[in-house]
Structure 1
């Protein structure tokens, strides 16, 4: 088997081993800039980009170097698509649903209300048609995408007042990322799309009444429990939020086959490591939040039912009006139906039992 084939089929450990081979050092030096949508203080989600950069440097013997930049250093938090598309930077690390204003289809790339969980989404991307469909979609934007992390299912956010029925959603000014605001607005809420680093101030000053970010580990770092005590679950809008690496198409095509294989491997490594960090850090963080006065509450079923109804109605409307949406969403939802059938008999039943068991 030749070296290129080894790189294509080996895991990260195999590629790291081959990186020391003389052929790897014959590769040209590549220097990329990557802009992130996430503040440096969030070592989990911002850190995914650094994991990617470190892996590329290690695999290439230092020949392929990526510098990671926080929001505002090169472009604003929500300027990643434009910067990568125009070639201002070679790469970005962001959530697709921040850009649903360009096309609602972007939202499916991260998470849509009542969408897939993280394992299902990963299966759709790698073993279903997800990656193929999004490569076709992003080609319109001169972008090549790679899955670059997942947060797992998220919490439902922090609220100044308790939410007891759909009536309590009306008039609620809530920071909520991207596309989910469309569903909340149909319930009467007033969604606000605010970057992570600016949420605390808005909640503290009363500019907003509620805010969601990700989950206990990141939420604790951002300090939301200090200004809003009601911590709801689940985040029905993000059953498994996907984070992407966006690569400028020309920059990617200019790479050698070996470097392209390294990009793929580094992205996959970052993808797995991000959720592992969240799953490892969230339990202890949740305990600390409760110790600091957070009230962990379940969203009422009436609220969930109302949101589900509005989400399905919105998806039907978009399927009729947006060909891009219809093409991707139809495949997405068909995959989810089969995945849910399987999870119903295995994951869901097992998890339910184990969470009630005394270990």
Structure 2
């Protein structure tokens, strides 16, 4: 997708959407309309499309009893105020990433991505079957909302850089867009870190407000046009090993729904989490081929060893500080997360990784 066309589509109809957003949610003949505000540009590959598909799933499965109307980033509220819109009652649902709200509770970062932490499959196992959802519910109860996993990008790309990184010295003082606990890790390594919404990153790179940026991966990054400014692309992230997105609902309104509609919202979110994962997995490698073959992007599978070692050390420091300085609920979240990781990594590293290494070494049908 051409970046100019994408951004044109992303900003279309904002005025009309904002005007319609002022109305209260419609309730007629037992039917309701809920408003979902998102952190994503309109028609954004994978994530924004996934939010719309989730809304459509709920609407169709409920046979119109619960219609979900989607507002892209900026159409109703600024992208990084999406959760606040649900908390203050301006919207019934938001779609984003839990670590965007770590200023409310750092525990929320554990439900998105942790440096050197869980892969997507591990995170899902923890949330669904090892107590993660129950802890997440406790965190969001403080704000009167309920969160569900709603999308999965898999292991994200490490980021876009204007020059190749050869050592730890190359990143000192670098201005880098990256959020969450991963941002704190980069900061400990000497990087100046900021977070900004997807639609703002390209211009910041272009006018040299940023030296480098990471967002998601090839599928999204191609649409955002980062290759026009940066040519060096690190394709494996240590700070976002299995990033999840979330859908958040007003808990009181959710619990007031009939049980069948509650189940539809919950199960549609789970289905869309898995669907987004497949969408990203299918389209990331194809987008990467386009970046390399059509736009001359230079890829690097991994950061230099001294950056990785410094990052691992910094990650341990960040997580220790989170544990030692956090409240009881933060400490409970971290204990559950790390306990689950100790168990789950034995499967990932002892079974899955061994198979992948064997396939890479011995099997080729091309």
TM-score clears 0.5: yes
Corresponding residue of 1:39: 41
> Which residue, 348, 357, 364 being the options, matches 1:358?
364
Corresponding residue of 1:334: 339
Corresponding residue of 1:22: none
Shift, 1:346, TM fit = 1.1
> Which residue, 285, 294, 304 being the options, matches 2:297?
294
Corresponding residue of 2:15: none
Shift, 1:326, TM fit = 1.1
The superposition leaves residues 298-333 of structure 1 with CA deviations (integer Å, 9 ceiling, x where unpaired) of 211211110111111111122111122211011101
C-alpha distance in 1 between matches for 2:253 and 2:90: 11
Corresponding residue of 2:321: 317
Shift, 1:60, TM fit = 1.4
**RMSD of aligned Cα (Å):** 1.4
C-alpha distance in 2 between matches for 1:285 and 1:43: 11
- 1:129-168 correspondence to structure 2 within 5 Å: 129-168=131-170
C-alpha distance in 2 between matches for 1:125 and 1:86: 26
Shift, 1:250, TM fit = 1.5
Corresponding residue of 2:203: 201
Task: Provide the aligned length of Structure 1 versus Structure 2.
Answer: 334
Shift, 1:221, TM fit = 0.7
Corresponding residue of 1:16: none
Corresponding residue of 2:16: none
C-alpha distance in 2 between matches for 1:117 and 1:161: 28
> Which has the larger displacement, 221-230 or 321-330?
321-330
Unaligned runs of 5+ in 2: 1-28
2:352 matches 1:347: yes
Corresponding residue of 1:268: 270
What is the SS of the residue equivalent to 2:314? helix
> Which residue, 258, 261, 278 being the options, matches 1:259?
261
- TM-score, length-scaled by structure 1: 0.91
C-alpha distance in 1 between matches for 2:50 and 2:216: 15
Corresponding residue of 1:232: 234
- TM-score, length-scaled by structure 2: 0.89
Contact 2:77–2:85 (CA under 8 A) maintained in structure 1? yes
Corresponding residue of 1:19: none
C-alpha distance in 1 between matches for 2:248 and 2:275: 18
Unaligned runs of 5+ in 1: 1-26
Corresponding residue of 1:6: none
The superposition leaves residues 61-90 of structure 1 with CA deviations (integer Å, 9 ceiling, x where unpaired) of 122100000111111101122111111100
The superposition leaves residues 179-234 of structure 1 with CA deviations (integer Å, 9 ceiling, x where unpaired) of 32111111110011010011111111111100101111111111111110000131
C-alpha distance in 1 between matches for 2:308 and 2:235: 10
Shift, 1:177, TM fit = 2.2
C-alpha distance in 2 between matches for 1:308 and 1:233: 18
Contact 1:98–1:179 (CA under 8 A) maintained in structure 2? no
Corresponding residue of 2:12: none
C-alpha distance in 2 between matches for 1:165 and 1:103: 34
